[in-house]
Structure 1
Amino acid sequence: MVEMECQSWVSKGINIHYQVRDNRKGYKAGALKEGLKHDYAKQCEYVVIFDADFQPEPDFLTQTIPFLHHNPELALVQGRWKFVNSNDCLMTRIQEISLNYHFKVEQEFGSITYAFFGFNGTAGVWRMAALDEAGGWKDRTTVKNELPSVLKAYRYQQHRWSCGPANLFRKMIFEIMRNNRVTVWKKIYVLYSFFFVRKIVAHIVAFTLYCIMIPASVLVPEVMIPTWSTIYIPTIITLINATGTPRSFYLVVFWVLFENVMSLHRTKATFIGLFETQRVNEWVVTEKHGDATRHKTELQQTQSRFKIGERYI
């Protein structure tokens, strides 16, 4: 379908190319690296990146390119995500709360304060010169819209999103420390606040406190936990997260329960990334609702409705 659309534009005289790889080496980073090797890509000043399940607005470029054009020192413009299937089920509504907080609070604050924040992997425009100066895409340092609507797919996605940053921290910490072009303050911010606290400690603390210590305090009266750490701080964090999605405020209780359950999987993935165990390079593409529906239909077409012994009717 994409190839046919490109051919349609080519017939109208538009300079557009359709490229595919015959392997998955380096996964997404490998695809980006391979794509930028082409001569026509090297002639471009900017590169726009979208995942296959994203639906950009027609004026996306006119809304983003001017920021790069009028700010020569700017390397990246990150677009904010919205979700076409956020109303599919309770799980997609809960994910929307977390991701809206990320974009509307974390990313917005990082942009306003000129602090470091990571590229979200899609819906962004890069200055080619900045990518070249940074050494291009590296599969060892790249981690990967429609929301996953089944728990299994969401777990795989969260494994990537938690394991990747932890592994990136392990691999890049000394390079960042040795970089002479970055101020000491920004190094401290990137390594301590962005990576260590937000990408590693946050998962471990959430799991330890809410899945181990609080249940233990209920079962063992001798275990005492300060009220401020079990009520006040969690309440403030929950309210801040809910501000990004006011329409789902009544779901915050479910969000808290869901996040506590997922903290186990995120903590496990974090340790896998830090210690580079066997699953560190695992890349399972997130199955979206359309994929699941198609797969289910295919199964129904290949299997009969009733099975008696070894015979199918």
Structure 2
Amino acid sequence: MTTVEIIFLGVYFTVLCVLAVYGSHRYRMAYLYYRHKFKLPTPRGVLPALPRVTIQLPIFNEMYVVERLVDSVCRIDYPRELLEIQVLDDSTDETCGIARACVERHRNKGLNIVYIHRENRQGFKAGALEHGLKVASGEFVAVFDADFVPSPDFLQRTVPFFADAKVGMVQVRWGHLNREFSILTQAQSIFLDGHFIIEHTARNRSGCFFNFNGTAGIWRRATIEDAGGWQHDTLTEDLDLSYRAQLKGWQFIFLPEVISPAEVPVDMNAFKSQQHRWAKGSIQTAKKLLPTILKSDLPFVVKREAFFHLTNNMAYLLMVLLSVLMPMSMVVRFHHGLYGTLFLDLPFFVTATASVCVFYVATQREQGVSGWARLKYLPFLMSLGIGLAINNAKAVLEALLNQQSGFARTPKTGSEGKSLKRVQKSYLGAKTLMPFIELLFAAYFTGALWFAIDARIYTSVPFIILFQAGFLYVGLSSLLRGRLKTAEASATLKSSEEQARRVA
């Protein structure tokens, strides 16, 4: 074996080892969850009087969901004289008229609701929240994104925790309005359930830092100000502010039993855009705050968890590198008669893939999902995670290279259940050249699969299929999903119009 081949295999196993470490972190999250799951948060003390609350609704071109959002927020059960609602609209389309009319309708009913429109998007969502905060009257500030439908008891179940003067933010769990829409929305829902049910609970109840998720949470206004306010030098202003606030000593509370339903993207390009923003923003936040965290006097366990939390998306860079190296490693070792060494890969792959299975099976189990239902989506979840690697690795590279980009909002369609409104093309995720790269990777793994079968290297076949299927699905869905869903929506709308004419 040549020196180049030895170095190549060394790099390959190093990448596998690091990915296995990040994969094993899921085991730790599951362990911490089960260790602390019964430490239920309860309010410490009683508020002497209900405080004044401002609810901020940042929106941008949300014509399909803005009415649903405003209507649901206006149904929140809280004394009218203590509640202020701000519709922070940066829209440039018909949303402006719809939102303004909706606000006026509720204002005429006696609600303290205001419409605030900016002519520019300076600072994007963070800028809108900061702009609204300047004129807000509330001592506490709740935030809801456009696709959320908060329950009427949201404030009743969150405000009491602020009786403890050290509590700076309370976050509730996201629900999913359109979980059943497609296999993609099912997968997203499971991903998000894992993040909220396992990760948030584990971090919060074990004394580690966790983050406000940008929506479905309520802040003590003094906490925002003490932490330096909303800043827009990262794409995840929520993660950034969360860590700055906790570094200042503020405590956060997570309430998994309080659920605020929301819509997940139905279009693959919209989903990838969302994942790109989250991945890039997390690395930007890591670059900004991780040195301060590691130099602080925080306990080692808090620093360690912050490191894994903020750098977790680095694994996507390694995943792309692994995708290039894995088939080549198989071929090199086969031609040198080192077929037996392929078994050395198994512990690393099992560590990474089995951790995914354990993590998400635990998530589904905690929701009371039946045995088969817990398992049937696991292969797709693993493939989808792999298929997103190129998209998210690009985001990580942009963050590492300080390449700036605008805040790309996730398009909302008003989807609930399996229904979908007609969607403007501008509301679908933008198409790029990325799908063609993903399809090239799928073709690469198709060749690797053929080689493995022909050479009877059957131990590699299941893993190759996971990679091949992931890149193929993500690539094809990116090219076709928007077109297919638009066609489905138009057909649904046409059918509804025909039924209405027959009734008339």
- The answer for the alignment partner of 1:282 in structure 2 is 406
State which structure, 1 or 2, has the greater radius of gyration over its C-alpha atoms: 2
- Judged with a 3 Å threshold, the aligned counterparts in structure 2 of structure 1 residues 173 and 83 are, in CA distance, closer, same or farther, namely same
Within 5 Å, which residues of 2 pair with 1:302-313? none
Q: Normalising by structure 2, what TM-score?
A: 0.53
Task: Tell me the matched-pair count.
Answer: 290
Residue correspondence of structure 1 range 162-181 to structure 2 within 5 A: 162-176=279-293
* Cα offsets for 1:142-179 (capped at 9, x unmatched): 52721111111111111101011111222234454566
CA distance, structure 2, for counterparts of residue 230 and residue 110 of structure 1 = 26
> In structure 1, how many angstroms separate the alpha carbons of the residues matched to 2:109 and 2:210?
39
Number of the residue aligned with 1:122: 215
TM, length-normalised to structure 1: 0.83
Q: Among residues 95, 101, 106, which one is paired with 2:199 in the alignment?
A: 106
Structure 1 residues 183, 263: CA separation in 2 closer, same or farther (over 3 Å shift)?
same
Q: What value does the CA root-mean-square deviation take over the aligned residues?
A: 2.7
Contact 1:238–1:252 under 8 Å retained in 2: yes
Equivalent residue, structure 1, for 2:357: 238
Aligned amino acid, residue 411 of structure 2:
E
Query: Counting strand residues as a fraction of each chain, which structure ranks higher?
Result: 2
| 1:232 shift after superposition | 4.1
1:20 to 117, 126, 134: 117
- Contact 2:313–2:392 under 8 Å retained in 1: no
Given that residues 290 and 307 in structure 2 are in contact (C-alpha distance below 8 angstroms), is that contact kept between their aligned partners in structure 1? no
Q: State whether residues 293 and 303 of structure 2, in contact with CA within 8 Å, keep that contact through their aligned partners in structure 1.
A: no
1:110-139: CA deviation from partner (whole Å, max 9, x where unpaired) = 111121012111111111111010010001
Q: What is the rounded CA distance, in whole Å, between the counterparts of 2:285 and 2:133 in structure 1?
A: 22
2:170 is matched with 77
What percent of counterpart residues are identical?
29
The residue aligned with 1:50 is 144
- C-alpha displacement of 1:82: 0.7
Tell me, in whole angstroms, the C-alpha distance in 1 between the residues paired with 2:425 and 2:392: 28
Instruction: Within 5 Å, give how 1:88-99 maps onto structure 2.
Output: 88-99=181-192
The worse-fitting range, judged by mean Cα deviation, of 280-289 and 89-98 is 280-289
- String of CA shifts for 1:247-275, please: whole Å, max 9, x gaps: 45301111111110101211121111111
Query: 2: distance between equivalents of 1:44 and 1:276?
Result: 36
Taking the TM superposition and a 5 Å limit, the aligned residue runs for 1:290-301 are 290=414, 293-295=422-424
User: What is the SS of the residue equivalent to 2:175?
Assistant: coil
Partner of 1:215: 327
The residue type equivalent to 1:267 in the other structure is A
Q: Which moved more, 1:129-138 or 1:221-230?
A: 221-230
Provide structure 2 residue ranges, at least 5 long, that are not aligned to the other structure: 1-97, 238-261, 415-419, 428-485, 491-504
Point out the more displaced range, 230-239 or 146-155. 230-239
Q: Distance in 1 between matches of 2:290 and 2:380?
A: 36
Bigger mean CA deviation after superposition, 83-92 or 232-241: 232-241
The answer to whether the 8 Å contact 2:207/2:302 transfers is no
2:164, 2:324 → 1: CA distance? 49
* 1:155 aligned partner: 272
- Tell me the secondary structure at the aligned position of residue 244 of structure 1: helix
Q: Which amino acid aligns with 1:15?
A: N
Native 8 Å contact 2:317 2:393 kept in 1: yes
Distance in 2, matches of 1:87 and 1:45, equals 38
Distance (Å, rounded) in 2 between the aligned partners of 1:276 and 1:108: 32
Q: 1:281 to 1:74 in 2, by over 3 A?
A: same
Q: More relative contact order in 1 or in 2 (CA 8 Å, sep 6+)?
A: 1
- Taking a change above 3 Å as real, the CA distance of residues 150 and 142 of structure 1, as seen in their structure-2 partners, is closer
User: Residue 399 of structure 2 corresponds to which residue in structure 1?
Assistant: 273
Q: Structure 2: how far apart are the matches of 1:96 and 1:5?
A: 30
Call closer, same or farther: CA 1:258–1:275 in 2, change over 3 Å: same
The one-letter amino acid paired with 1:183 is L
Q: Is the 8 A contact 1:97 1:242 kept in 2?
A: no
Letter in 1 for 2:309: F
Distance in 2, Cα, partners of 1:129 & 1:15: 22
Consecutive unaligned residues in structure 1, runs of 5 or more = 302-313
Instruction: Measure how far apart 1:79 and its partner are.
Output: 1.1
Hey, what's the Cα distance between the residues in 2 that align with 1:85 and 1:56?
Answer: 15
Q: Distance in 2 between matches of 1:147 and 1:14?
A: 29
Tell me the secondary structure at the aligned position of residue 122 of structure 1.
coil
Distance in 2 of aligned mates of 1:2 and 1:57:
20
